[in-house]
Amino acid sequence: MNGLRPPGRPAPGRRPRSQVAALATVVLLLVTAGLVGAPANARPVDQERAAPAGSGTASGTAPRQLQAQVLTWTAGDDFLRYQSAPTTAVAGPTTIVFENSAATGNTTGMQHTLTFDTGDPAYNSDVDLNILADPTDSNGGRWTVDVVLSPGTYRYFCAIPGHGAMTGLLVVTDGGSDTTAPTASAVVSGERNDDGAYLGAATVTLSAEDSGSGVDRVEYAVDGGAWGTYSAPVTVNSPGQHTVSYRATDKAGNTSAAQSVSFTVVEPPAPDTTPPTATAAVTGQRDDDGAYLGAATVTLSATDTESGVEKVEYSLDGGAYAVYSAPVTVNQPGQHTVSYRATDKAGNTSSAQSVSFTVVEPPVQDTTPPTATAAVTGQRDDGGAYLGSATVTLSATDTGSGVENVEYSLDGQPYATYSAPVVVNQPGQHTVSYRATDKAGNTSAAQSVSFTVVEPPAPDTTPPTATASVTGQRDGDGAYLGAATVTLSATDTGSGVEKVEYSLDGGAWSTYSAPLTVNAPGQHTVGYRATDRAGNTSAVQSVSFTVVEPPVQDTTPPTATAAVTGQRDDDGAYLGSATVTLSATDAGSGVDRIEYSLDGGPYAVYSAPVTVNQPGRHTVSYRATDKAGNTSAAQSVSFTVVEPPAPDTTPPTATAAVAGQQDDDGAYLGSATVTLSATDAGSGVDRIEYALDGQSYARYTMPVTVNQPGRHTLSYRATDKAGNTSGTASVTFTVVASGPGPACPAPDTRPTVWLGTVDSGVPNRPVDGTCTVNDLIEDERTWPNHGQFVAHVSAVTTHLHHLGVITHQEHGRLMNAAGRSGVGKGARN
């Protein structure tokens, strides 16, 4: 103590300073090794700079790290994982935020640390970080520290005993200079007429790729207007000819050259009243039971043959519907259901459908690098040298996390990211080195392939050979019914074909890119020619044919059939569910769609077998429509579904594990922690219960810590969701005191705990022997600064809380009094 006492209260006797220091040393040795207060350079969070919890790097951070990126970790009541944590970052100045407060879910005052591993040579060790935070500390559990990250992998963890599962990896990439602009592309979609014009509207979807710093934004301009930032597909619905220009900029500021796509929009046909057809596909790595490892990705799609799809919506596990814009990744372990529906541009919405799946924890981290291979192709001379150029094609496989990228180096130059086969056309000896990196950061050892390129032979002077074929349905006179398709091709044994051109009925020459369909009735002639890469053009040839009107329109509807399958009981009823499979045939224009109605409900487009699992009598009506618009008369099939057989009768399997520091006899020093778990392959585990030393059973919610010395028996059992309870099992162990209590010849027996001149109001209790809480808090020592004294109080009171001497609320009051005290802030009075 510092010599000040409350008015009217006598000063108790003091023990020698050496005895107090020895007692404090014993207590501190009992406190978990490695726990310290916040670092000296930790500071309260700047709310305007801090990124959202778990966001990784702050939004807008440039690859060159001109400003510090912000990485945020949060913790709460869970001692098995952090609430949120970043996984990637960019090398350079970084502000690290660690928050363990009520705002992040800490309702019990549990302490956590954010500690970087500096002792494992497998990880970066240049950042020595160790932050202790709880909601009652001087910053309310929220701390920051500025560091400089290097490329590589950092391992972080919580150093509190029993919190060993709270760990993870932070992968830091090199934020080097990027001078290559992104690659932008455009796709125009929408319903089109026979002339290729879009009916009512055309939707332009833009995308961009950048293998360097990454795409920052995509911009577009419609019909020469101002440039705008692209955030969603652009729909153009004004009739007429349109041009959409587009470009992309990466995070390093490189902008691609502007490109454009042109199209025509015409008035749409009559209103659409048919809803779209929506489908779902679930992808991801799966275990032997079909569960998805770590995450499952749900990809939704929809088609609409009339007005076109306007939007697709989805709902995860019964939540609110959201607009689908990209595949939905679900990474929370457990059973999940994604419901989905689609709406077309005419406002028609399909019936909701759903897909269910299970996500489980992924396997251990991938530490095996990928396998990379190289193949060299090209025309070769008798000596094996490549004539004019050689093409090096690289590939890689990885059975773990998957290939992230492939890199190559030509003739000792810096490594570059491989995106397409590498063509080498400079004469001479060449070596291409290559390597591959997987998504876990493992890089294969560099390999190489060597070859020689020589000058090609004399120039090509021979033109290509062009041919034509006409296909289509023909009548008895050989004329083509409705349309004839002209397919052109060309070969060249020299430099290779550069282009093929055609002229329809003496018109202008056009470049051939796909088979030409001629549907105007009459006599037609298609002229054609080919040009090779050396500029040689073949003589013009031609093919002639006649197109006549097609036969009369199809007026016969399709034939639809139905089949019901599933497991049936002796009465013919389906056990649990019945699956109705529909099919249709049409000998005329062909089947366009099949529709069905369940138990008198609205008709829906049939896209997959319909499974009915509600017990009772059911009727499925169905019909089919061909491409000429003919619809068959509605038919129906009826069946009965009954409850499946008896429920799960097998109880769960329960296990127990005891952890803690043990002495040479196997007894646990101070306390032992029992962790219970259970598995059930049937209906699933509903609850685990335990009873300590013959007491009543209680529901298990978290590991049980026993700190009373003596021999203990913890009995436990588990019950599944079907009500089956396992047989009672037990585990026995011994807890001994952590050490003999030191004698306190002159204990501090004041009724409450004082910190300097501040009375905390917490009752002063014996701790070990005759020593009290006041004896353990060395406020009379000379402290270098106030922060070290507060850290000392935190260590002592945390241990006392774990021993059950003080409550969680009293721990908070003591820490509050330590912060308000003047200990360590200057000269003593």
Residue 654 has pLDDT above 90, yes or no: yes
Average pLDDT over residues 75-100: 92
User: What is the distance of C-alpha 467 from the center of its chain?
Assistant: 51
Domain edge (last residue) among 173, 192, 209:
173
Does 20 score more than 90 pLDDT? no
| Residue 170 contacts residue 88 (beta carbons within 8 Å) | yes
Same domain, 423 and 505: no
- Of residues 284 and 56, more confidently modeled: 284
Other CB atoms within 10 A of residue 498 CB: 16
Please list the residues that pair with 752 across neighbouring strands: 763
Closest CA to 526 of 491, 492, 484: 484
Q: Rounded to whole angstroms, how far apart are CA atoms 773 and 804? A: 12
Q: Answer yes or no: are the C-beta atoms of 28 and 778 closer than 8 Å.
A: no
Q: Which residue is associated with the tokens 């105007």?
A: 520
How many angstroms separate the CA atoms of 595 and 375, rounded? 51
Phi, psi of 815 (to 5 degrees): -65, -35
Q: Are 244 and 236 in contact (CB under 8 A)?
A: yes
In the chain, how many domains are there?
A: 8
Q: Is the pLDDT of residue 748 over 50?
A: yes
Report yes or no on 50 lying in a domain.
Answer: no
Q: Is 48 inside a domain boundary?
A: no
Structure confidence at residue 476 (pLDDT): 86
**What domain range includes position 745?**
17-30+740-820
C-alpha 66/C-alpha 48 separation (Å) is 17
The letter for the amino acid at 530 is A
Q: Does the pLDDT value for residue 408 go beyond 50? A: yes
Say if residues 270 and 264 touch (Cβ distance below 8 Å).
no
Please tell me the predicted confidence (pLDDT) of residue 176.
61
pLDDT in tens, 228-247: 999 999 999 999 999 999 99
Mean pLDDT confidence for 161-174: 90
Q: Are residues 701 and 789 in the same domain?
A: no
Tell me the percentage of the chain whose pLDDT exceeds 90. Answer: 65
* Residue 428 φ then ψ, to 5°: 130, 180
In a domain, 624, yes or no: yes
Res. 53: pLDDT tops 70: no
Domain shared by 732 and 744, yes or no? no
Q: What is the model's pTM?
A: 0.24
Contact 720, 683 (CB under 8 A): yes
The H-or-E segment that residue 473 falls in is none
pLDDT of residue 829: 38
Same domain, 499 and 418: no
| pLDDT 10s digits, 807-819 | 989 989 999 998 9
Strand partners, 280: 300
The confidence band for 739, taking pLDDT boundaries of 50, 70 and 90, is: low
Specify the pLDDT at position 52: 39
The percentage of residues in the chain with a pLDDT greater than 70, rounded to a whole number, is 90
Asked if residue 381 and residue 352 are part of one domain, the reply reads no
Residue 49 has pLDDT above 70, yes or no: no
Q: What is the pLDDT of residues 415-439, one digit of tens each?
A: 999 999 999 999 999 999 999 999 8
User: Are 249 and 336 within one domain?
Assistant: no
Between 185 and 738, name the one with better pLDDT: 185
Within a 13 Å sphere around the CA of 795, how many CA atoms are in the beta-carbon half? 24
Question: Does 626 or 35 have the greater pLDDT score?
Answer: 626
Same domain, 80 and 116: yes
Average pLDDT over every residue of 42-61: 38
Residue 626 banded pLDDT, cuts 50, 70, 90: very high
Q: How confident is the model at residue 768 (pLDDT cuts 50, 70, 90)?
A: low
Mean of pLDDT over the chain = 87
Count CB atoms within 10 A of the CB of residue 299.
13
- Highest mean pLDDT out of 41-45, 248-252, 480-484, 706-710: 480-484
Other residues' Cβ atoms within 10 Å of the Cβ of residue 172: 21
Decide if pLDDT at 13 tops 60.
no
Other beta carbons within 10 Å of 434: 24
Distance CA 754, CA 749 (A): 11
pLDDT average, residue stretch 58-84: 72
How buried is 86 (Cβ within 10 angstroms: 0-12 exposed, 13-18 middle, 19+ buried)? Answer: buried
Residue 53: phi, psi to the nearest 5?
A: -55, 130
| pLDDT at residue number 252 | 75
Q: Is 60 a member of any domain?
A: no
Residues 165 and 86 placed together within one structural domain of the fold: yes
Q: Residue 799: inside a domain, yes or no? A: yes
Which of the two residues, 415 and 668, has the higher pLDDT score?
Answer: 415
What pLDDT does residue 177 have?
63
pLDDT category of residue 827 using cuts at 50, 70 and 90: very low
C-alpha closest to that of 741 among 710, 778, 774, 766:
766
Same domain (yes/no): 429, 525: no
Pair (674, 691) in one structural domain: yes
Answer whether residue 24 is part of any domain: yes
655-667 pLDDT, tens per residue?
Answer: 999 887 787 888 8
Strand arrangement of the beta sheet that strand 559-565 belongs to: 559-565, 578-585, 610-612
Instruction: Note whether 104 and 135 are within 8 A (CB).
Output: no
Residue 224 lies in a domain: yes
- Is residue 211 exposed (0-12), middle (13-18) or buried (19+ Cβ within 10 Å)? middle
Question: Rounded mean pLDDT of 590-600?
Answer: 95
* CATH number of the domain enclosing 574: 2.60.40
Give CA–CA dist 424/391, Å, rounded: 6
**CATH classification of the domain holding 231:** 2.60.40.10
Contacting residues for 71 by C-beta, under 8 A, at least 6 apart: 51, 56, 57, 86, 89, 94, 95, 96, 97, 170
Q: Decide if 640 is inside a domain.
A: no
Can you list the pairs that 374-379 forms with residues at least 24 positions away whose Cβ atoms lie under 8 Å? Answer: 374/432, 374/434, 374/447, 374/449, 376/449, 376/451
Q: How far apart are CA 618 and CA 225, in angstroms?
A: 58
Token pair 């919506």: residue: 313
- 447: tokens are 């390999």
Q: Choose one of 360, 394, 424: the last residue of a domain.
A: 360
**Rounded CA separation 563/575 (Å):** 16
Bridge partners (DSSP) of residue 501 are 511, 529
pLDDT tens-digit series, residues 537-552:
999 999 999 999 987 7
- Give the separation between CA 612 and CA 392, rounded to whole angstroms: 55
Q: Which pLDDT score is estimated for 743?
A: 52
How far is 764 from 749, CA to CA, in rounded Å? 7
Confidence of residue 722 (pLDDT cuts 50, 70, 90): confident
Higher confidence at residue 553 or residue 5?
Answer: 553
Q: What is the pLDDT of residue 65?
A: 39
Give which of 299, 300, 302, 332 is closest to 317, Cα–Cα.
332
pLDDT tops 80 at residue 24: no
Q: What is the pLDDT of residue 828?
A: 45
